[in-house]
Structure 1
């Protein structure tokens, strides 16, 4: 390579032109458009590279100035799937492997109608919207050349799996892939379960599964690269212009192929084994899209996860025994759905708590099932416009307290079997159980009881959440678990500036710590709610419904 070529390849700006003279030749306003964060804040963006300084001064995550991928809902027009929908990317021909990117706009993404639980087909949707195609080469060989010191990764629970011992495709055998897998193993996997440990299935089950599922492995590589970028504020060291989206796009191509194959097969143990990679890929992609706050594609993958889960757990498949990996994936899909359902409206297609059998029970299982039951009851009551539509077993403060007490005790009992590594982490986990106990009560009282009559009880629960959060000693280990409880605090802070400041500061702290910025839209929702007229929307759920009807959606997980 000539000195001039070397100079071009090391430029970290977005020009990549043949006449590029490196970073020093680019002015601060070399970005082509203002970043979306500055647009939302209604201020002029300085367009610094790699990210704008105005976001940095406010400790906000700058999404940059590039194009955003956006998915639209497709409907089959012929064949046995006519009229059916499923939000899964339909790939371009493999020879071209073209991925289409569009500038994301919250109002431009309209979620499709929910798939019927009896639907036996999976359809593939097309990328929609006006866009300019960007060709993604079929091969990803030598995509990354990371420069971080792998010896600095010291997670005692890491598998340190050797990809070379598996029969992977040639383009997945390079050093960049090994380093991204190592980063996932040591860093990313730690924030996926409630608490990290030697039995963390996001590590012990997902990584071995990825060695036999190319779509899952590629999704993990994309997640790792994007997480590194989010945490460090720098792009993953790369070569030839490749970024994490290349791994993501290739994963989506393979996922669409797997889905078409899965649709054509009959229910069997072998089919479930192959389908494990499909649901695992979708769940990883869900988490990938949660890293960047301006992405709306999590709804696409979430709906796909719902459909797969319902198919696996359909009554007529009761005789099919799911293996440990399948059961773990169903539980994780349910966890995602519980939190996702609690803050989204106009969609009554929740995964029922009945998908989890008693043998699937673990910490927070009973709590999650109860929250999903409360959410479904609230949605039903709103749909029929009758407070009496809620079962007396739920629309009763004493009964709710008893059921949440039972869930808390079960979580504490299950936690005794977990290996936390230290007594301090075990003690903090008991505090975390109390945090979710109080947050769950506050959410349920708001959803099913008269908020005016039970305002003192709700306020007591919110105070309990705030107090318990302050009691956690090992904050880094549990930061990722606090998003939903902090959001609940925010929903009950409309007239309290102090709790508003607490919720806002803590949500920003959590995002900075974890590298996942998905709750920026939720925080912006809270700010709008705090400033809204109580005469127009009496509570946060009514306000969220109004915004949902305008195409404004957010996810809190």
Structure 2
């Protein structure tokens, strides 16, 4: 795609330069040089994107040429969104997600998809969907209700089954909150359908682990442990978002302990291959660890390993939120309550990625 689209090429160069800048200390000349380079390519890509979006919105055609142009535009937007994720304190990634949503929704009206780009578009759809789910997890305004077209293909998808359940739990939690605010009756606790989906995601992922040709058997075992951590993290979230104490606390604490066991089992194993997938289980386990300084150190160590192997992204702020959560026992019913209450503050505007 980069060979066929200057916009895509500029977006790739922007994120590549940004990544290289992170290899240097912030005061180093290398960091400054690559940051300037990243900004230059980003601005170039944005200028080209503005023209492409204007052309797409004005086009009434549904031919393969328009389809190809749409795919290139979507790729550029998703790449720039990931570029913003590397330093997500600003609102740039939200703008790119909104643009990606418009491109995807407009593309639904096409009757002639570009066959050569179909698999790439499906991958981009997965990237958009998952980014939207993680964004909505800690977003508490009306934008979290925006449509997120779910990708039909599971090719190139790994944890998407879990992400889909997380998305459903978030929507149910928002509905529950609105129902309580208006004194409407609402079912308490994770529904059987949600639990079934979580179990199904675990089964499909463990089955996938048996089919992947890993370089070493230890890598397969590491992947299986990460799957189990994801499973228990999603169970914790379902309890926190939809359950009531004491059942909620008992079930969540049980899954928290399982995550800590898996984390300890990962000690000494290669985690660099899957470091980026540990943020969700580390965060969920951390939200159930008030008053446990020893376990706090384990979570901190996990986050530092993730940032060492898979860049900082917003992980330092996720850990900072956990630190604040640990220091405010009894002040909030749950971390969701705390994040919702302080949503407009920079402290609670974070991404679990």
* TM value normalised by structure 2: 0.86
Q: Distance in 1 between matches of 2:230 and 2:29?
A: 35
> Could you tell me how far apart the structure 1 residues matched to 2:305 and 2:179 are?
40
The CA distance in 2 between the partners of 1:439 and 1:490, in whole Å, is 10
Q: Distance in 2 between matches of 1:238 and 1:547?
A: 33
Q: Deviations over 1:513-544 (max 9, x none)?
A: 22233222222222222222524x21110110
| Cα distance in 2 between the residues matched to 1:430 and 1:318 | 41
Structure number with greater Rg is 1
- In structure 2, how many angstroms separate the alpha carbons of the residues matched to 1:387 and 1:482? 37
Q: Could you say which residue in structure 1 is the equivalent of 2:272? A: 476
Structure 1 contact 342–375 (Cα < 8 Å) conserved: yes
> Is contact 1:293-1:521 (8 Å) kept?
no
Displacement of 1:336:
1.1
Secondary structure at the counterpart of residue 243 of structure 1: helix
* 1:265 and 2:59 are equivalent in the alignment: yes
1:450 positional shift:
0.9
2:44 aligned residue: 250
Separation of aligned partners in 2, 1:239 and 1:498: 41
CA contact (8 A) 2:14 2:39 kept: yes
Once residues 307 and 195 of structure 2 are traced to their aligned partners in structure 1, the CA distance between those partners, rounded to angstroms, is: 31
Q: 1:376 to 1:476 in 2, by over 3 A?
A: same
2: CA distance between counterparts of 1:538 and 1:240?
Answer: 44
Aligned partners of 1:290 and 1:516 also within 8 Å: no
Instruction: Check if 1:443 corresponds to 2:237.
Output: yes
The residue that corresponds to 1:227 in the other structure is: 19
- The partner residue of 1:524 within 317, 320, 343 is 320
Q: Which is helix-richer, 1 or 2?
A: 2
Aligned pair partner of 1:338 in 116, 130, 133? 133
Matched, 1:365 2:160: yes
Please state how far the C-alpha of 1:286 moved relative to its aligned partner: 1.9
Once residues 438 and 343 of structure 1 are traced to their aligned partners in structure 2, the CA distance between those partners, rounded to angstroms, is 19
Equivalent residue pairs, number: 342
Higher RCO by CA contacts (8 Å cutoff, separation 6 or greater): 2
Alignment match of 2:207 (pick from 413, 417, 424): 413
Q: Aligned runs of 1:208-223 on 2, under 5 Å?
A: 209-223=1-15
Could you tell me whether the CA contact under 8 Å between 2:165 and 2:194 is conserved in 1?
A: no
Q: Which residue of 169, 172, 175 corresponds with 1:377?
A: 172
Q: State the alpha-carbon separation in 2 of the partners of residues 457 and 555 from structure 1.
A: 25
| Distance in 2 of aligned mates of 1:540 and 1:437 | 19
The superposition leaves residues 242-287 of structure 1 with CA deviations (integer Å, 9 ceiling, x where unpaired) of: 5321111111111111111111123624323211122211222222
Q: Which runs of 5+ in 1 are unaligned?
A: 1-208
- Which residue is 1:54 aligned to? none
Coordinate RMSD, CA, aligned: 2.8
| C-alpha distance in 1 between matches for 2:299 and 2:88 | 18
Equivalent-residue separation in structure 2 for 1:553 and 1:267 (angstroms):
40
**CA–CA separation in structure 2 for the residues paired with 1:487 and 1:239:** 34
Residues 165-204 of structure 1: per-residue CA shift (max 9 Å, x gap): xxxxxxxxxxxxxxxxxxxxxxxxxxxxxxxxxxxxxxxx
Q: What corresponds to 2:82 in structure 1?
A: 287
SS at match of 1:493: coil
1:458 partnered with 2:247: no
* TM, length-normalised to structure 1: 0.56
CA apart distance, 1:350: 4.5
Distance apart, 1:360 and its partner CA: 5.0
TM-aligned CA distance change 1:250 to 1:319, over 3 Å: closer
Displacement after TM superposition at 1:505 (Å): 2.7
SS of structure 2 residue aligned to 1:494: coil
